[in-house]
Amino acid sequence: MARGVKKRRLMGEINVVPYIDVMLVLLIIFMVTAPLLTQGIEVELPDAAAEPLDEDLVKDSEPLVLSVDSEGGLYLNVGSDEEERIEPATVVARAAAVLRRTPGTPVLVKADESVTHGRVVRAMVLLQQAGAEKVGIITDPLFEPEVIRE
């Protein structure tokens, strides 16, 4: 070996600090955007012990959701502004267009628990006029406390 030449040893460690920084930034982005991903208008759903929708039903297409707020206003998750109150004739026209384009689309009603039964039924009739064969109702699950076993 030549005099004065040092052999340099390779470093076999990975610096993970940049990866941790990226993960923290992604975590913050997801925490900020997650509340913004909710669909439609906010309503207080009634509690019911209903069975959840079959996953096969909603895996192929996004359901058509007609929301009814506490004053009876109608909102459809189709169109330019999902948070804009629309007229019953517009509900029928937009829902019919969606159902003609994709006939197997699940159709659901999301109504505030303070809305009268008559308004919910009228909303369901509008969807039937648009061509929906089956109309489901969205509810919050009942809270059933677990039995503590010793």
Domains of the chain with CATH codes: 47-141 (3.30.420.270)
74: number of Cβ within 10 Å = 21
Q: Which two tokens stand for residue 85?
A: 């109150």
Q: Which two tokens stand for residue 112?
A: 């505030």
Q: How many CA atoms does the CB half-sphere of 99 hold within 13 Å?
A: 21
What is the reported pLDDT for 112? Answer: 85
Q: Which amino acid does the sequence have at 75? A: Y
What is the reported pLDDT for 86? Answer: 87
Q: Sorting pLDDT into bands at 50, 70 and 90, what band is 45?
A: low
Rg of the Cα atoms in the chain: 26
What is the reported pLDDT for 54? Answer: 59
User: Does residue 149 carry a pLDDT above 60?
Assistant: no
Kindly state the DSSP code that residue 8 receives in the 8-state scheme.
Answer: P
User: Does residue 96 carry a pLDDT above 70?
Assistant: yes
